[in-house]
Amino acid sequence: MSGSLLRCGVVGVGSLGRHHARKVVDHPEAELVGVFDPDSERARASSDELASRAFPAVEALLDEVDAVIVAAPTEYHGALGERALHAGVHLLMEKPLATTLTEADRLLEAAERADRVLQVGHLTRFHPGVQRLAEQGLDRSPPRYVEANRLNPFQPRSLDIDVILDLMVHDLDLLRHWIPAPVTEVRALGVPLVTDKVDMANARLAFANGAVANVTASRVARKRLRELRLFQPRRYVSLDFAGGTMGVYQVDGSQDLGAIPGVRGEATELPEADLLAEEVAAFVAACRGRSSRGVPGSEGRAALALGLTVREAVEDHFARYGPSLPADEANP
């Protein structure tokens, strides 16, 4: 394949899939062969815009491509992913990888049997701030405490899943990526506000190495917010994903008792980046046998597992306390 374009397809050309398709068109080593969407008018509009083909069925598309991006609703990830991998096609699956760990394991097994690439669309991994933290050796000095807030105004999309697998999973993926220790405890609460699924959730996670994280996600917020703070020994990092700024602050000072430490550092602007283009580029590189920064299926499975654990903790909290605290706890 080294001398030819990677023939790609996109399954699902809704709000995100059509952007994936554009990035494939823009990639110099890839060719958008076509798209499939159960909404034939939407598929035709996307294919006309990008000078590709609208295929009448998934199988017809899979017969003519080397790689496929699946941006369909999460409930179809397992079945569509298996069909692609069984057809011998490389797969980039939008997050979350699947709806259950059983489905995720079937995808991992299918990718291994077919010897095909399986990556997951955890887009935040490509953010310049996350990349800078990797360059600064975060893996050698993992955070001791992380606080993450990911809030969205309500949008009528991804309503087949709760806010945990829709938004919080991005930060759960970062935690699994940054903290090399098992999760030992999860306490969480969540509430459905405008849908029949949890629309706002908060989770406190404890890790075997002593690290702690507090993560909040909402899809019914007044304004969009993407912020994360992490603390290492004598170091504090503040990352504004949406605003594109990153502050790194180092604690100085004498080790003598009674000494007042000083803090040095400042917030800096991060370079602009097309995260989706980078994600597609990483996928294309992996399909062509090169090293890649793409998120492998196994790590997508780990993020899904942690998200499902948070969901179980939310359900346990609701089963114990219901929609409101008992009177003796609500009014101490």
* CA angle in degrees (0–180, nearest 5) for 219-222-225: 70
In tens, the pLDDT along 70-96 reads 999 999 999 999 999 999 999 999 999
What one-character-per-residue DSSP string does 91-106 give? EEEESSS-SSHHHHHH
Residue 323: what pLDDT? 61
Residue 330: what pLDDT? 39
Residue 255: what pLDDT? 54
Residue 257: what pLDDT? 47
Residue 105's contacts (CB-CB under 8 Å, 6 or more residues apart) are 301
Q: In whole angstroms, what is the distance from residue 112 CA to residue 312 CA?
A: 29
Q: In what order do the strands lie in the sheet with 295-296?
A: 53-54, 30-36, 6-11, 67-70, 90-94, 118-121, 295-296
Question: Two tokens at 285?
Answer: 């590189």
Residue 332: what pLDDT? 39
Residue 92: what pLDDT? 98
Residue 233: what pLDDT? 86
What one-character-per-residue DSSP string does 137-163 give? TTTTS--SEEEEEEE----SSSTTS-H
Q: In whole angstroms, what is the distance from residue 137 CA to residue 260 CA?
A: 27
Residue 261: what pLDDT? 64
In tens, the pLDDT along 123-139 reads 999 999 999 998 887 87
Q: Tokens 């990526």 identify what position? A: 177
Task: Return the closest-CA partner of residue 114 out of 57, 66, 55, 58.
Answer: 66
Residue 159: what pLDDT? 76
Q: In whole angstroms, what is the distance from residue 282 CA to residue 295 CA?
A: 9
Give the containing element (helix H, strand E) for 276.
Answer: helix 275-287
Q: In whole angstroms, what is the distance from residue 173 CA to residue 114 CA?
A: 26
Residue 2: what pLDDT? 46
In 10 A of CB 253, how many CB atoms?
Answer: 11
- Name the stretches of the chain with pLDDT < 50: 1-2, 257, 325-332
Q: What percent of the chain has pLDDT above 70?
A: 92
Backbone angles phi, psi at 320, to 5 degrees: -80, -40
